């Protein structure tokens, strides 16, 4: 019997607990959670304590990975009141303009063009850059990166990732270039910057357009410079689940004046003024209420980073010492938003990734398997590349190992200890 089989049996029919005395005392402090008591939170010391084995769940209200961070409600309401007084609700209103100016200054980039969401922003940026034919992207990303290409009948060509950083591997990118390739979209996955310099060098040498999907990387830096001014354009998402949100929203950033002008036309049906459309366009406008939320949340950005940083440190401590479990590090030399707490479950861990996720879900903790199974395995792309997996071994391996854990300002304080206890119990070799 392999260690994994043993855990499977333990989950379904818990074996007698080998560690008896202290664990049988319901009033004893939880070994992994000195602050917890039975009155404050659930203690998970053995397999029988797991909700998946029939015990009561740790949380009756689900703990989500993407619980929104919400800034000062009064400041938001004041902005909304003023918006109603002005009767200007959308289409490049004053709040959108103020948000764009503040974001440009924060990100250190010439132009910020606010959009209704990150996906439309990707589509507009891809089109503005004149990408067509084939564009190289990672498969290990949220599907929007690839869909934004497919939506415009551009073929996403998936390149493999570096298994350590989870970001594009420049050598793999180079291997996927064909005569039809027009561009590369790097993704700063989990808010850790892609290999910007190496990708820029390939793009320059092979005459390709380079842009970045920076949906995760608001506030992050690469070699000391804030993400936002790399490549020809970068695209941010301000979706509710993102570290910085505007309900729904996004933005394209660029240092190129002509590109910014065209993207402004494109987000407003191609109109240059009230009467004349001068460019192909769509509707990518950010409403004023979203800009009000963005401006409000910008004011408490530091509070959110600090909450994420401290949650991350608590996870590092609570999960430290569990064999075959790896918490993806943040580079201490760079600025980080700490919005994704990513663990990799090693092959020798006694439980599988899916068993752990199931156990966490049973406790009311909606840990996620982002971005399993990779875009190349999703229906819109599977038929296109039935054998893509052969060229994407690292994508396959990483996507089967990763669990993303909840963080953010709404994380219940006891959640990290409960999560660590689940890992610890499932990490015991039994049987
Ligand atoms: N590129 C990358 C690399 C991206 O990660 C994304 C988006 C994009 C591009 C596209 O940007 P947008 O067009 O979205 O601006 C989510 C988000 O929908 C998506 O924005 C995000 N990436 C992706 C990583 O995750 P789901 O399916 O996990 O989201 P959803 O809405 O089911 O929410 C997750 C959990 O959060 C839920 O279990 C409930 C909770 N939640 C959610 C919302 C919306 C709340 O508690 N409150 C809420 O308001 O995809």
Residue pLDDT, tens place only, 37-94: 343 578 999 999 999 999 999 999 999 998 999 999 999 999 999 999 999 999 999 9
What CATH number is given for 3-60+301-367+406-426 in this structure? 3.90.1150
Mean pLDDT taken over the chain: 91
> What digits encode the pLDDT tens for the residues 391-431?
999 999 999 999 999 999 999 989 999 999 999 999 996 64
CA geometry: angle 186, 104, 80, nearest 5 deg: 110
pLDDT band for position 15 (cuts 50, 70, 90): very low
**What is the structure's pLDDT at 40?**
52
**3-60+301-367+406-426 and 73-298 share one fold:** no
Give the integer Cα–Cα distance in Å for 56 and 275.
Answer: 63
Residue 371, preceding bond cis, omega within 30 degrees?
yes
Task: Kindly report the pTM of this predicted structure.
Answer: 0.93
139 lines ligand 1 (CB under 6 A): no
Q: Quick one: what percent of the chain has pLDDT higher than 90?
A: 87
Nearest-atom index, ligand 1, CA of 366: 38
Give the residue, out of 63, 65, 66, 415, with the most ligand 1 atoms within 8 A of its beta carbon, to mutate for a pocket test. Answer: 66
* 396 Cβ inside 6 Å of ligand 1: no
Question: Where would I find the H helices in 35-162?
Answer: 73-86, 94-107, 118-128, 144-150
22 pLDDT above the threshold of 90: no
428 SS3 class: coil
For residue 24, is pLDDT > 60? no
**48 vs 38: CA distance, rounded Å:** 15
Sorting pLDDT into bands at 50, 70 and 90, what band is 30? Answer: low
- List the chain domain ranges: 3-60+301-367+406-426, 73-298
The two structure tokens encoding residue 316: 């590092």
CA of 119, closest atom in ligand 1: 13
pLDDT in tens, 327-371: 999 999 999 999 999 999 999 999 999 999 999 999 999 999 999
Contact 202/181 with Cβ under 8 angstroms?
no
Rounded to whole angstroms, the Cα distance separating 376 from 385 reads 7
pLDDT value, residue 66: 86
What pLDDT score does 106 carry?
98
Strand partners, 210: 184
For the stretch 88-124, pLDDT in tens is 999 999 999 999 999 999 999 999 999 999 999 999 9
Mean pLDDT of 131-138: 98
Fold of 73-298: 3.40.640
Establish whether the linkage from the previous residue to 272 is cis, with ω within 30° of 0: no
- Ligand 1 site, residue 167, Cβ cutoff 6 A: no
- Residue pair 403/343 in contact (Cβ under 8 Å)? The answer is yes
Q: Which residues contact 190 (CB under 8 A, 6 or more apart)?
A: 166, 216, 328, 340, 342
| Three-class secondary structure of residue 105 per DSSP | helix
């Amino acid at each position: 019997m392999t260690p994994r089989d043993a855990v499977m049996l333990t989950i379904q029919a818990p074996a007698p607990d080998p560690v008896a005395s202290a664990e049988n005392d319901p009033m004893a402090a939880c070994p992994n959670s000195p602050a917890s008591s039975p009155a404050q939170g659930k203690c998970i010391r053995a397999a029988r304590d797991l909700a998946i084995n029939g015990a009561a769940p740790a949380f009756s209200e689900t703990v989500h990975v993407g619980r929104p961070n919400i800034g000062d409600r009064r400041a938001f309401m004041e902005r909304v009141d003023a918006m109603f007084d002005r009767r200007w609700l959308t289409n490049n209103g004053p709040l959108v303009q103020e948000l764009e100016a503040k974001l440009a200054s924060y990100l250190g980039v010439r132009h910020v063009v606010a959009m209704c969401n990150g996906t439309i922003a990707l589509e507009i940026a891809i089109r503005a850059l004149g990408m067509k034919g084939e564009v190289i992207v990672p498969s290990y990303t949220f599907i929007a990166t690839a869909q934004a290409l497919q939506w415009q009948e551009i073929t996403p060509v998936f390149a493999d990732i570096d298994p350590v950083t989870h970001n594009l591997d420049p050598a793999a990118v180079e291997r996927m270039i064909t005569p039809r390739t027009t561009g590369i979209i790097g993704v700063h996955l989990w808010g850790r910057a892609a290999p910007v310099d190496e990708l820029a060098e390939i793009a320059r040498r092979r005459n390709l357009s380079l842009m970045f999907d920076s949906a995760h990387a608001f506030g992050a830096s690469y070699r000391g410079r804030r993400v936002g001014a790399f490549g020809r354009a970068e695209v941010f998402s301000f979706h509710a689940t993102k570290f910085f949100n505007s309900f729904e929203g996004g933005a394209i950033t660029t240092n190129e004046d002509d590109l910014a002008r065209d993207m402004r036309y494109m987000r407003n049906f191609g109109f240059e003024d009230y009467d004349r459309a001068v460019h192909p366009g769509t509707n990518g406008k950010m409403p004023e209420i979203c800009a009000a939320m963005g401006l409000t949340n910008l004011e408490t950005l530091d509070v959110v980073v600090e909450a994420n940083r401290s949650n991350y440190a608590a996870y590092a401590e609570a999960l430290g010492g569990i064999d075959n479990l790896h918490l993806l590090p943040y580079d201490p030399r760079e600025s980080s938003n700490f919005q994704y707490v990513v663990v990799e479950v090693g092959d020798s861990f006694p439980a599988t990734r899916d068993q752990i996720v199931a156990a966490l879900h049973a406790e009311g903790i909606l840990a996620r398997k982002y971005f399993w199974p990779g875009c190349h395995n999703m229906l819109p792309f599977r038929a296109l590349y039935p054998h893509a997996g052969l060229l994407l071994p690292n994508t396959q391996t990483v996507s089967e190992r990763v669990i993303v854990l909840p963080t953010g300002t709404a994380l219940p304080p006891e959640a990290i200890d409960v999560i660590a206890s689940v890992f610890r119990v499932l990490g015991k070799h039994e049987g």
